[in-house]
Chains A and B, each alone.
Chain A
Amino acid sequence: MFRTALRNVLAHKARLLMTVLAVMLGVAFVSGTLVFTATIQNAFQKSSEEGFSHVDVAIQPNKNKGESISGPTNNLSQRTLDKANQLSGVESAIGVADGFAGLADKNGDLVGDGFSTQGANYYAGQDGTDERYPLQKGRAPQQSSEVALDSETAERTGYKIGDTVPVSVQGPVQKQKVVGIFTTDDGAVSAGGSLLLFDNKTAQQLFAQPGQYSEIQLTAASGTSQKELKKAVTGILPPDSEAITGQQLADDQSEMIKQQTSGMQTAMLAFAGIALFVGVFIIANTFTMLVAQRTKELALMRAVGASRRQVTRSVLFEAGAVGISASVLGFGAGLGIALGLESAMGSMGGMPEGPMIISASTIVTTLLVGVLVTVLAAWLPARRAARIPPVAAMGSVHAPATTRSLVVRNIIGAILAGAGGALVLYATTAEDGEAAMGLGAAVLLIGVFVLTPLLSRPLIAAAAPALKLFKVSGKLARQNAVRNPRRTAATASALMIGLTLITGLTVVATGVQNAIDKMASDALKADYQVSMANFQPMSPKIQETLKSLDEVESVTPWRMSPAMVDGESEQLAGVNPSTVQDLISVEFTEGGWNGLGGGNAVVVDEKTADKRGWQVGSEISVTYQDGKRGQLTVSGLYEGNQLVQGIQMDAEVLATHMAKVTDMQVYVKTDGGPSDSVKAALEKSLGDNPSILVEDKQDISESISQVINILLNILYGLLAMAVIVAVLGVINTLAMSVFERGQEIGMLRAIGLDRRGVKRMVRLESLVISLFGGVMGIALGVFFGWAAGELIASAGLDTYSLVLPWDRLAIFLVLAAVVGMLAALWPARRAAKLNMLAAIKTE
């Protein structure tokens, strides 16, 4: 039995080619993801361990209190450092002061992405050097105008010792002289970031407080373990700080990396799953056709004594053999994908080096997935094969295309689609409808799969007028497309899945972008928004500088400070009460911005006020960041939105309670409105600082759309795999159809249809099937997009409304047509080349 199955696989190599490719692609996606994530996890883990090799114990301000707002930012004093140095078992103690430091390259652009551009202190030990940062060239920075660069950044930017480089930490650009170039095994640097070293005093000023450190790192004397050292350190810990072993730090970091990569892994596996799911349709189609073509053969096996179970098993065994070979090939291709991803990430400078990690579990998972998917997809065709009666072996007629009734199938489909659709509709009106919507969408999608054979007739009939243009070829193509509704449906469904997801995502993304655009233009009256590229707070000097410009009419800071308000932690936002009404537009239901002048007055958005039970006139108690207590009076209520919400007060009052006064944003209105020259003037006044963004509404909208577009493109890329598998499915179906209809095509050729006509017939059939899948996918996608949008709107994005991206929808339809044309290339050629005589000669 197994031998016959194996022979069958070998005999039908060509016909199984597309199936193997489809499974292979899905499996390659899975194995590529698993290998890639294992590899980068390993590489990052190694690099973070190296990064902490100089640290046995670190003393850090307590982070566990996290949300705590009492007291100034925790820093560690020189006294703690000195005490740590005296401890027995300590080899050396280093004070660390570090934070964001932007460096501009020779074009004036920020080096790195703004999050991994760090600055720190060069802490000279007893021998005058910092063992963490061995100098490659030059010397260590000694005064505030000097800086040292890590060697990789120096190489990338081309800066040399003696160059003057623009550096920005919180405020205006400073020109710093490069005096040294050093090497480091800091993980962030090896992953593509930059590191600037300042002299100790300057770094303390920039990143902590004068004379203080943000962290103290200890190395143990030989013979002292990390644990022992940690115990010893506990005695000298200042309040609100903790001691952590180097091992723990490395573990924490690698755990964090693991979490980040596992999120990526889950997402990529989800897309691999989609590709495999699409593959299921192709596998099922192939085996259905193979079984139909081999009806006589299988009947003969039954006639000579094979049991039903043996027939089923032989078909499943065939599927298994196909699955195994496809999985092995796919695993190999997956290694290629992993290598490609790794080098892509490496070339972007975001990846420490490390060996490729191929674990046994990856191999097993990958092979198992491929084989199981194939065998499960072949299950129904295998059952059908077993039901072939032995007498079919005697029939002289070619296997008839049994048109089994679709009634039961249609009823089930209608129930599923109806229930799923109703659930989705219900979810759009319900609160927290995500789960219901997800379930409804899945049920609806399955319902539509089941219904596609029914839908194929009217939808394809709708194409008849267009097909009439192609005379006989068009007519035959249409009839061939609806001839085997199940097969057409399965083929079109495979394409439908991909297009549904692509369309749905696009519809939602367009709506969200539109909503944010609208919100920005509704809420902002300001011409420009000034902020740091990495959303770090910036120095109040910036708003002072801007205010003094001739072009500028009015300015308000957007100053954030955490506080405890009536026992709960809130962010207080400080604005300039006299100018804010020119810059930020919100609807006040009671009171207004001018009520803020009085010092202790606040305005609150209605949602927050409702939640907290505040009204105009309410007295609320507050504990500021500096620990002082006070009373605030609610003087107005406004309708908040995604950009402007929360408790607003006078920025000057808030400043008196902030440990270090910083602004999140500065809003600027200019005399003449936004223009290139005004923008240039603003930027110039800030020293053309690469890390400060000066954006008008257009820029804000563009930067949002850029983010959305990048995200969409990544998703398109991942979904492309599903579409490619669907293309294989269309090729598969057409090739099988051409094979099955060989005699018909031969007869058509004999009575006068030329090669072009035959080709056109196959191409049009392909086009009709693909467009059928495309239209259904786009329609479903728009529906899901609309439903998801309703959820988004009710979740708080008030300005959201459905915006149909007609241009993109048109592109998707064209894409479906292109899929059809491409898929038909090979089958159409085959059909046209068919040997007429072999085709019409009877068996």
Chain B
Amino acid sequence: MTTPMQAGAYAATPAPGVAAARAMDLSKVYGQGETKVVALDQVSVEFRQAQFTAIMGPSGSGKSTLMHCMAGLDTISSGSARIGDTELTSLKDKKLTQLRRDRIGFIFQAFNLLPTLTGLENITLPMDIAGRKPDPQWMDRVIETVGLSGRLKHRPNQLSGGQQQRVAVARALASKPEIIFGDEPTGNLDSRSGAEVLGFLRNSVRELGQTVVMVTHDPVAASYSDRVIFLADGRIVDDMANPTADSVLDRMKAFDGKARTT
């Protein structure tokens, strides 16, 4: 918004539909005085429904912080963050927890699953916590989509890393959340398993109408998305629609070069 490059990027994003999540002048500051670090500096962004968005940026750019703040995992220093029409800043811990449970799905890089629960139990965990019964038809469809039918009784330590992340994707999808946040969901996977998981995420957007926001530093992963947002030093510096691995890589090189020259 503040740079010409960004303005251009916005124009290139034809985005119909309603915002599933939105940040307005969102800032996140750690520490005080001398040790003060601004992780997010008045970021404003919208994630539209039924769209697959990737957030990219170098280490320390604030991409994970942005996701944590918008997902209600971390508190906000100033500004606003909304899921649908719900303002997160006004929610106490209990309501926030409920919101995460009922309206958001999560996929982390690791430690997605409880080792004591079977695959199926892990998938239904958020609904168990809420005390809701899963919709069996939907469950079948989700499980079929991620291709786990034969492995539901297995415990996580009996599954490969890729299979574990597929369980995590299924869990995130199972409760039909308004939005799914992924934090480097393929970070620990080999490229083939990673491609599978990303494929499922893209399919869930295309076929199931799911909204997905994913933090990644991998251009190939980003190329599965509909839109890439680039962060640097706590600000959004670019916004790219219909990315390919090459275009993302080029853009990143440009940043690197720019960073070096400035």
Q: Give B111-129 interface residues, CB cut-off 8 Å to A.
A: 111-112, 114-117, 125-126, 128-129
Given contacts A837-B68, A840-B108, A840-B111, are A479 and B100 in contact (CB under 8 A)?
Answer: no
From A475, A754, A836, contact of B94 by CB (8 A) = A754
Does B131 belong to the interface (CB within 8 Å)?
yes
From A483, A751, A754, contact of B126 by CB (8 A) = A751
* Contact, CB under 8 Å: A750 / B73: yes
The B contact surface, by secondary structure, is: mixed
Does A753 belong to the interface (CB within 8 Å)?
yes
* Contact, CB under 8 Å: B129 / A751: yes
Report Cα–Cα, A471/B130, bound state, in Å: 9
Q: In angstroms, how far is the closest chain B Cβ from the Cβ of A16? A: 26
From A479, A757, A836, A840, contact of B129 by CB (8 A) = A757
Q: Give B40-73 interface residues, CB cut-off 8 Å to A.
A: 68, 71, 73
Does A161 belong to the interface (CB within 8 Å)?
no
What residue of chain B has the Cβ atom nearest to residue A397's Cβ? Answer: B110
* Contact, CB under 8 Å: A751 / B111: no
Report Cα–Cα, A743/B115, bound state, in Å: 12
Does A476 belong to the interface (CB within 8 Å)?
yes
Report Cα–Cα, A571/B38, bound state, in Å: 97
Contact partners of B108 in chain A: CB under 8 A: 747, 750, 840
Q: Give A732-774 interface residues, CB cut-off 8 Å to B.
A: 743-744, 746-755, 757
* Contact, CB under 8 Å: A751 / B131: no
Does A472 belong to the interface (CB within 8 Å)?
yes
Given contacts A750-B100, A754-B97, are A743 and B116 in contact (CB under 8 A)?
Answer: no
* Contact, CB under 8 Å: B116 / A479: yes
Does A842 belong to the interface (CB within 8 Å)?
yes
Given contacts A471-B131, A840-B111, are A752 and B116 in contact (CB under 8 A)?
Answer: no
Contact partners of A483 in chain B: CB under 8 A: 115-116
Does B230 belong to the interface (CB within 8 Å)?
no
Does A190 belong to the interface (CB within 8 Å)?
no
Contact partners of B111 in chain A: CB under 8 A: 743-744, 746-747, 840, 842
Q: Give B65-119 interface residues, CB cut-off 8 Å to A.
A: 68, 71, 73-74, 93-94, 97-98, 100-102, 105-106, 108-112, 114-117
* Contact, CB under 8 Å: B110 / A752: no
* Contact, CB under 8 Å: A752 / B101: yes
Report Cα–Cα, A748/B112, bound state, in Å: 9
Q: Give A18-35 interface residues, CB cut-off 8 Å to B.
A: none
Does A662 belong to the interface (CB within 8 Å)?
no
Q: In angstroms, how far is the closest chain A Cβ from the Cβ of B195? A: 21
Does A480 belong to the interface (CB within 8 Å)?
yes
Given contacts A471-B128, A479-B117, A743-B111, are A751 and B93 in contact (CB under 8 A)?
Answer: no
Contact partners of A746 in chain B: CB under 8 A: 111
Report Cα–Cα, A751/B130, bound state, in Å: 10
Given contacts A471-B128, A842-B109, are A837 and B116 in contact (CB under 8 A)?
Answer: no
Task: Report, as a range, how many residues of chain B touch the other chain.
Answer: 20 to 34
Proximity string of chain B (150-176) to chain A, C-beta cutoff 8 Å, 1 when within and 0 when not = 000000010000000000000100000
Contact partners of A472 in chain B: CB under 8 A: 125, 128-129
What residue of chain A has the Cβ atom nearest to residue B171's Cβ? Answer: A751
Contact partners of A751 in chain B: CB under 8 A: 100-101, 105-106, 125-126, 129, 171
Report Cα–Cα, A842/B188, bound state, in Å: 10
Given contacts A744-B114, A752-B101, are A837 and B74 in contact (CB under 8 A)?
Answer: yes
Task: Report, as a range, how many residues of chain A touch the other chain.
Answer: 20 to 34
Contact partners of B157 in chain A: CB under 8 A: 400
Proximity string of chain A (802-843) to chain B, C-beta cutoff 8 Å, 1 when within and 0 when not = 000000000000000000000000000000000011001010
Contact partners of B110 in chain A: CB under 8 A: 743, 842
Q: In angstroms, how far is the closest chain A Cβ from the Cβ of B171? A: 8
Report Cα–Cα, A476/B100, bound state, in Å: 20
* Contact, CB under 8 Å: B114 / A750: no
What residue of chain B has the Cβ atom nearest to residue A742's Cβ? Answer: B111
Q: In angstroms, how far is the closest chain A Cβ from the Cβ of B212? A: 16
Q: Give A424-448 interface residues, CB cut-off 8 Å to B.
A: none
Q: In angstroms, how far is the closest chain B Cβ from the Cβ of A581? A: 73
* Contact, CB under 8 Å: A748 / B116: no
Contact partners of A752 in chain B: CB under 8 A: 97-98, 100-102, 126, 129-130
Report Cα–Cα, A321/B250, bound state, in Å: 58
Report Cα–Cα, A747/B71, bound state, in Å: 13
What residue of chain A has the Cβ atom nearest to residue B64's Cβ? Answer: A841
Contact partners of B129 in chain A: CB under 8 A: 471-472, 748, 751-753, 757
Report Cα–Cα, A232/B205, bound state, in Å: 118
Q: In angstroms, how far is the closest chain A Cβ from the Cβ of B77? A: 15
What residue of chain A has the Cβ atom nearest to residue B114's Cβ? Answer: A744
Q: In angstroms, how far is the closest chain B Cβ from the Cβ of A436? A: 44
Q: In angstroms, how far is the closest chain B Cβ from the Cβ of A750? A: 5
From B74, B112, B116, contact of A747 by CB (8 A) = B112
Q: In angstroms, how far is the closest chain A Cβ from the Cβ of B65? A: 9
Report Cα–Cα, A842/B111, bound state, in Å: 8
What residue of chain B has the Cβ atom nearest to residue A835's Cβ? Answer: B74
Q: Which of A750, A757, A840: most chain B CB closer than 10 A? A: A750
* Contact, CB under 8 Å: B98 / A754: yes
* Contact, CB under 8 Å: A755 / B101: no
Q: In angstroms, how far is the closest chain B Cβ from the Cβ of A122? A: 83
What residue of chain B has the Cβ atom nearest to residue A471's Cβ? Answer: B131
Contact partners of A836 in chain B: CB under 8 A: 73
Proximity string of chain A (169-187) to chain B, C-beta cutoff 8 Å, 1 when within and 0 when not = 0000000000000000000
Q: In angstroms, how far is the closest chain A Cβ from the Cβ of B120? A: 13
Q: In angstroms, how far is the closest chain B Cβ from the Cβ of A376? A: 33
Report Cα–Cα, A226/B124, bound state, in Å: 94
Contact partners of A475 in chain B: CB under 8 A: 128
Q: In angstroms, how far is the closest chain A Cβ from the Cβ of B262? A: 29
Q: In angstroms, how far is the closest chain A Cβ from the Cβ of B185? A: 12
Contact partners of A755 in chain B: CB under 8 A: 93-94, 97
Contact partners of A747 in chain B: CB under 8 A: 106, 108, 111-112, 114
What residue of chain B has the Cβ atom nearest to residue A478's Cβ? Answer: B116
Contact partners of A744 in chain B: CB under 8 A: 111, 114-115
What residue of chain A has the Cβ atom nearest to residue B187's Cβ? Answer: A842
* Contact, CB under 8 Å: A476 / B114: yes
Contact partners of A757 in chain B: CB under 8 A: 129
Contact partners of A749 in chain B: CB under 8 A: 97
Q: Which 4 A-B pairs have the closest CB atoms?
A: A752-B101, A479-B116, A754-B97, A743-B111
A-B contact pairs, 18 of them (CB 8 A): A401-B115, A472-B129, A476-B114, A483-B116, A744-B114, A747-B114, A748-B114, A751-B106, A751-B125, A751-B126, A752-B102, A752-B130, A754-B98, A755-B94, A836-B73, A840-B73, A840-B108, A842-B187
Given contacts A743-B110, A842-B109, 4 further A-B contacts (CB under 8 A): A401-B115, A476-B116, A479-B117, A752-B130
